[in-house]
Amino acid sequence: MYSEVTNSIKISVDPTFMEDQSEPEDFHFVWAYHICIENQGDDTVQLMRRHWHITDSQGRIHEVRGEGVVGEQPVLEPGESFEYTSGTPLATPSGFMVGSYQMVDKEGASFSVSVPAFSLDSPHDLTLVS
């Protein structure tokens, strides 16, 4: 589990390799990641946008930007949390993701929340130690 707190918003990420959806012989590897967004602050906030950098083991970066997460722009009162699961494919057996969420508070002030970098590892990644 990976977690980070920015501006009183805690983001926790738990990635899982999806063997049943992957086809290693065709260079298709899939991960699910479960995210919990927890408002540890005193103000109501809303998640407006997401931004991801997805990097495979050959250093290729895929950037994703969009409205909300999984079709929602959740509003979080103090002490509330929102959880969702999404996924990503890669053409290599490992990589990593890092990102951010654009949030607004009840006064309409915008701020960024970091999503911690997390590793995408599969049993198909052959690492040789010499």
The per-residue b/e assignment along 61-76, b for 16 or more CB within 10 angstroms, e otherwise, is: eeeeeeebbeeeebeb
Tens of pLDDT, residues 30-53:
999 999 999 999 999 999 999 999
Answer for the pair 68, 48: CB distance below 8 angstroms, yes or no: yes
The CA distances from residue 125 to 2, 80, 82, 117, in Å, are 21, 38, 32, 19
Asked if the 2-121 domain carries CATH number 2.40.40.20, the reply is: no
pLDDT tier at 124, thresholds 50, 70, 90: confident
**pLDDT digit string (tens) for 71-117?**
999 999 999 999 999 999 999 999 999 999 999 999 999 999 999 99
